[in-house]
Chain A
């Protein structure tokens, strides 16, 4: 019999708030965290708004770690610390404690690049080279947050970093569950982090035409499944969960939030930036998660959609949901309507919202929903949170490169 995996700790840092309760409260209220960009002068870009993490200071660390803390890892450390604290994790055997993170390589600030170019021009290549901080070569990497977390929490088990763009942290959590099931760890700290409100990201996604340009109405710009949606809104932050084998959680008397029931993962095998219109890959991913969990579509009470607010994603995801659930109108909402798109962190943060939905008996709404789209004929839980008993929830994440991930989470029943 395969080992059961439970969720015993939750933590997040998001544009809606720098912990789980504020994030959950914001999502339930459908409050928008999207506003004009304050981090840099965005006045020359086609998109001038985003969902920034605000008023955030990462936990103070020992000096030997503090020097390794960049913005991206800073989000991860905050969310992971909340999750570990929430789990009440005492001493865990380091060899049985692993880390699985969804993250991406960081892009340098333009200021830094410009300073470097100037140094190069004025003082020459050799001096510019000597002036480089070697730590920067480490902190930009995708794997740095996972390496730092293994140090902070003395987690010397499997250490994985997944980089599949927007799908990263759905897969990193899925991997963590697989590692526990096969017996390679008892506890995994799993999640994702991303920092996206940066010049080169606003530029790069803007050039691809993927971002909303609703500059006159930023707070209402992320409108998943609405006919007038015009692109996604960059967000940032981190989400982490503590996953444990049920055995380990029970042995230490842990409070169990929910059970991680299944993981599905597929590839569109299509094109880098979009998915097949029939939603094939998304459907396969949801079906695989259900099969892995031993569930039928009728068992699902809520779907937290990927729902990016791009024309293409929302239509193909809707097609996939129809293909999986048939005539039944399962409630589906996209919390990206409130907090924007956290890219490598979205899968983990949205899993946490599913866990809170199960615990609170409340579905967070799709905010800013005004104009029904026949291509997205779903019950999107429009604008108002809804009381509902949730025993099983799915969360979807789909990304550039064509990877799709779905996690199935359910009420824990002994």
Chain B
């Protein structure tokens, strides 16, 4: 069964804790720097995890058309708008370059918790001696709330604001599928182009787990590292004990080959395979068989007999590292391709994680070098038998690269991309 055909990437937009371009972030990774750092926020004091990979120095006002809208935009939405704009600019996609109804947008977005803090004063009004009084909340509390409160909590705000900004009137999507969403958006966008539904689609993901809702939820589920030092996130290492929350956005201008040729845009990569599967069992269960099936589907679609590298999900959760390593052994046998992962240095940016990895993979391919999995010293026993890039970066010609992103609900997504040849 084939994969997407005639789909090329002509622009990348990137916002991360390690820099505002994938080149800058890869430089930092190759130099062994990490965005993961101890946090001192009083809101997190009671949590077992106080590490995070935060973005600093980002200016949302530089990326929105109408600054009045900034107050409706969470940090994740602002990152998303910046990355969309960068991806469009990099591909020369100013409004009017393509017919608006032939320009689409596919977004992977995070769980929009809304702003609980904005509700606090109103909630206090409803709290009385005899429990919560909804009527008093409604009559005395609600007038304290910003009338636009609901809009800030919409799941699809990157899509809504960014389509308006680019005048992108074509096919669109907003996936909320935990850590798989961003890569699903790119894979589904590639298929929509293959189907002839648009000439170009800006696709990617934006998310931020840097808020108390995500910290408490992930921590209660036992997913976060309890380490306190910046090297605590150790994908596939014997001492792995969970991830650190992160944030960011990466978007790509995907385009039909014909459209790119017509516009004279250089091809950065081709999207040639997409595999998307779910685990069953229970809602939070992940199964190596499903991860392997998604991986095989991406390779089959691409028609490859060889894979040059796998950019793993590698979230440093012992259970999932085990599942991922098993799946890779199941697909590739005793000789896996070199495998790397970025969450030791980027943290886990959830819906943005897959797109961030893809952007880094393209940049790594351009340079012919694979960064090492950060802080991987001795692979965990269950993760043995996989050719992890550990210690030093590895020089390598990267033509055929797989990127994996997985979600908390058992979603697993692989994207296969072909890169132009570079000799390291």
Known: A134-B220, A266-B171, A281-B169. A113 touches B119 (CB 8 A): yes
Among A368-414, those with CB < 8 Å from B are: 399-403
| Structural contact, B173 and A114, CB atoms closer than 8 A | no
What residues of B have a CB within 8 angstroms of the CB of A175 in the complex? 173, 188
Is B264 among interface residues, defined by CB-CB distance under 8 A? no
What residues of B have a CB within 8 angstroms of the CB of A42 in the complex? 134, 138
Is B259 among interface residues, defined by CB-CB distance under 8 A? no
The residue that A182 contacts in the complex, of B184, B191, B279, with Cβ under 8 A, is B191
Among B402-420, those with CB < 8 Å from A are: 407-411
The residue that A269 contacts in the complex, of B109, B156, B163, with Cβ under 8 A, is B163
Assembled-state Cα–Cα distance A98/B293 (Å): 13
| Structural contact, A157 and B156, CB atoms closer than 8 A | no
| Structural contact, B127 and A105, CB atoms closer than 8 A | no
What residues of A have a CB within 8 angstroms of the CB of B131 in the complex? 111, 114
What residues of A have a CB within 8 angstroms of the CB of B160 in the complex? 272, 400-403
B136 to chain A, nearest CB (A): 7
The residue that B282 contacts in the complex, of A64, A113, A132, A288, with Cβ under 8 A, is A64
Known: A104-B155, A137-B217, A267-B105. A156 touches B407 (CB 8 A): no
| Structural contact, A144 and B283, CB atoms closer than 8 A | yes
The residue of chain A having its C-beta at the shortest distance from the C-beta of B146 within the complex is A207
A33 to chain B, nearest CB (A): 23
Known: A151-B283, A401-B156. A156 touches B278 (CB 8 A): yes
What residues of B have a CB within 8 angstroms of the CB of A271 in the complex? 164
Known: A113-B123, A142-B111, A272-B154. A164 touches B174 (CB 8 A): yes
The residue of chain A having its C-beta at the shortest distance from the C-beta of B140 within the complex is A44
Assembled-state Cα–Cα distance A148/B45 (Å): 33
Question: A43, A98, A110, A125 — which one has the most chain B CB atoms within 10 A of its CB?
Answer: A110
A174 to chain B, nearest CB (A): 9
Is B280 among interface residues, defined by CB-CB distance under 8 A? yes
Is A56 among interface residues, defined by CB-CB distance under 8 A? no
Assembled-state Cα–Cα distance A288/B137 (Å): 46
What residues of B have a CB within 8 angstroms of the CB of A333 in the complex? none
What residues of A have a CB within 8 angstroms of the CB of B1 in the complex? 183-184
What residues of B have a CB within 8 angstroms of the CB of A315 in the complex? none
| Structural contact, B279 and A156, CB atoms closer than 8 A | yes
Among A150-207, those with CB < 8 Å from B are: 150-151, 154-165, 171, 175, 178, 181-184, 199-201, 203-205, 207
Known: A141-B178, A207-B150. A105 touches B119 (CB 8 A): no
Question: B47, B132, B153 — which one has the most chain A CB atoms within 10 A of its CB?
Answer: B132
Known: A44-B134, A68-B283, A199-B134. A164 touches B168 (CB 8 A): no
Is B113 among interface residues, defined by CB-CB distance under 8 A? yes
The residue that A284 contacts in the complex, of B101, B175, B217, with Cβ under 8 A, is B101
Is B195 among interface residues, defined by CB-CB distance under 8 A? yes
Known: A146-B409, A147-B409. A99 touches B278 (CB 8 A): yes
What residues of A have a CB within 8 angstroms of the CB of B188 in the complex? 160, 175, 178
The residue of chain A having its C-beta at the shortest distance from the C-beta of B3 within the complex is A182
* B interface with A by C-beta (< 8 Å): 1, 45-47, 72, 100-101, 104-105, 109, 111-114, 116, 119-120, 123-124, 126-127, 131-132, 134-139, 142, 145-151, 153-157, 159-161, 163-164, 166-178, 180, 184, 188, 191-192, 194-195, 197, 213, 216-222, 276-285, 290, 293, 297, 407-411
Ordered by A's residue number, 11 sampled pairs between the chains whose C-beta atoms are within 8 Å are A99-B278, A113-B123, A140-B111, A143-B178, A146-B409, A165-B155, A178-B192, A199-B134, A207-B142, A271-B164, A402-B159
